[in-house]
């Protein structure tokens, strides 16, 4: 006898095969049978007009800190999401240090929310994974090592290319995180300090990721007017480093830019034919969401969030922002 039996449900088994109508029997918390089942269940559910599918994977999740709130969130698992990929856009929560944990907290607050600093009990990437394990999660979680925090650890919020020594420090942090279980490297090229990185820095860092079969998950430098050029940049990074490229929420924002997607998909096909590795995720709605730092020129955040707030009181600083706002889309996608 099954603990419970779902009868006459449309089964989508995740293999790519056509859906079929059948029964699913569950025993001791595990699926014990799929097909035309003859047994009975302590509880029987009529699955007519319903579908049963494997758990969904959320490839772009921002619940890094939500798991440490008073009550762990169950919204994802209630929607059928059984695995989440954390530390997106280069703005995760580890590694950090005593000196920069406040800066990191302020920098990620717009995407991840806030958690009192005394609750940031980890410093290393491994420490964060251990904290997740101790917390106990309602679903499965994998985590990327965030480029932004790695850059802060090596060189703060400096708006410049990294020195060879700083690059070596970033590479070491990435190697350490990958050895501890990071799924790959994430970056958000509209979010400082990730946006301060030139292409060759991304190539160098991703050679470490490729050497350990990780993935490079990237929010592109532009998703509007310069979308084709941005896609070409991340494909170049993948080609020169050998890393598997995964593009976050691949889209063209602004209706005027929608036709650009044809160019991008053609470029993706060509990249695959050349032996490249690229995948992407999408969200199924027209609205988007980001933070104020992505709307302001990226140089405004070079000193960190508190410096930005202070500088905004300076009329000359605001005038410089205003000048940038007047520039065309070929200069800055504002």
Three-state DSSP string of the chain: CEEEEEEEEEECCCCCCCCEEEEEEEECCEEEEEECCCCCEEEEEECCCCEECCCEEECCCCCCCHHHCCCCCCHHHHCCEEEEEECHHHCCCCCCCCCCHHHHHHHHHHHHCCCCHHHCCCCCHHHHHHHHHHHCCCCEEEECEEHHHHHHHHHCCCCCCCCHHHHHHHHHHHHHHHHHCCCEEEEECCCCCHHHCCHHHHHHHHHHHHHCCCEEEEECCCCCCCHHHHHHHHHHHHHHHCCEEEECCCCCCCHHHCCHHHHHHHHHHHHHHCCCCEEECCCCCCCCCCCHHHHCCHHHHCCCHHHHHHHCCCHHHHHHHHHHHCCCCCCCCC
Do you know the residue count of the chain? 334
Report the percentage of the chain scoring pLDDT > 90: 81
- Please give the pLDDT value at position 36: 93
The residues of the chain that CATH labels 3.20.20.140 are: 56-293
Interatomic CA distance for residues 223 and 203, integer angstroms: 20
Residue 330 banded pLDDT, cuts 50, 70, 90: confident
In the CATH scheme, what architecture does the domain 56-293 have?
Alpha-Beta Barrel (3.20)
Angle between helices 199-211 and 227-241 (to 10 degrees): 40
- Please give the pLDDT value at position 95: 98
For 25-42, write each residue's pLDDT tens digit: 999 999 999 999 988 889
Mean pLDDT computed over 185-207 = 97
**315 pLDDT more than 70:** yes
The residues of the chain that CATH labels 2.30.40.10 are: 2-52
Mean pLDDT computed over 252-278 = 95
Mean pLDDT computed over 178-207 = 97
As a whole number, the mean pLDDT across the chain is 94
- Please give the pLDDT value at position 304: 87
Residue 231 banded pLDDT, cuts 50, 70, 90: very high
Residue 333 banded pLDDT, cuts 50, 70, 90: low
- Please give the pLDDT value at position 334: 63
Report the percentage of the chain scoring pLDDT > 70: 99
2-52 topology per CATH? Urease, subunit C; domain 1 (2.30.40)
Residue 288 banded pLDDT, cuts 50, 70, 90: confident
Residue 184 banded pLDDT, cuts 50, 70, 90: very high
Mean pLDDT computed over 201-221 = 98
**113 pLDDT more than 70:** yes
């Amino acid at each position: 006898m099954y603990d419970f039996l779902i009868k006459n449900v449309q089964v989508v088994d995740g293999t790519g095969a056509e859906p079929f109508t059948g029964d699913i029997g569950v025993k001791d918390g595990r699926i014990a049978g799929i097909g035309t089942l003859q047994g009975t269940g302590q509880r029987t559910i009529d699955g007519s007009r319903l579908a049963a599918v494997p758990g969904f994977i959320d490839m772009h999740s921002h619940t890094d800190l939500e798991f440490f709130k008073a009550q762990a969130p169950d919204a994802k698992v209630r929607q059928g999401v059984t695995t989440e990929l954390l530390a997106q856009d280069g703005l995760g929560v580890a590694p950090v240090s005593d000196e920069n944990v406040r800066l990191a907290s302020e920098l990620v607050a717009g995407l991840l929310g806030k958690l009192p600093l005394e609750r940031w009990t980890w410093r290393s990437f491994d420490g964060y994974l251990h904290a997740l394990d101790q917390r106990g999660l309602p679903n499965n979680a994998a985590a990327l090592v965030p480029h932004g925090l790695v850059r802060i650890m090596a060189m703060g919020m400096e708006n410049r290319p990294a020195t060879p020594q700083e690059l070596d420090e970033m590479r070491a942090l990435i190697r350490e995180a990958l050895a501890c279980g990071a799924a790959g490297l994430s970056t958000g090229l509209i979010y400082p300090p990730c946006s301060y990185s030139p292409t060759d820095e991304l190539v160098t860092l991703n050679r470490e990721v490729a050497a350990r079969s990780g993935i490079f998950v990237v929010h592109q430098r532009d998703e509007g007017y310069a979308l084709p050029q941005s896609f070409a940049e991340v494909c170049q990074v993948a080609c020169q480093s050998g890393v598997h490229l995964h593009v976050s929420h691949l889209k063209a924002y602004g209706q005027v830019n929608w036709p650009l997607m044809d160019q991008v998909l053609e470029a993706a096909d060509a990249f695959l034919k050349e032996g490249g590795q690229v995948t992407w995720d999408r969200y199924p709605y027209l609205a988007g969401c980001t933070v104020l730092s992505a709307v302001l020129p990226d140089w405004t955040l070079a000193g960190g969030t508190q410096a930005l707030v202070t500088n905004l009181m300076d009329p000359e600083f605001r005038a410089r922002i205003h000048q940038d706002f007047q520039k065309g889309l070929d200069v800055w996608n504002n």
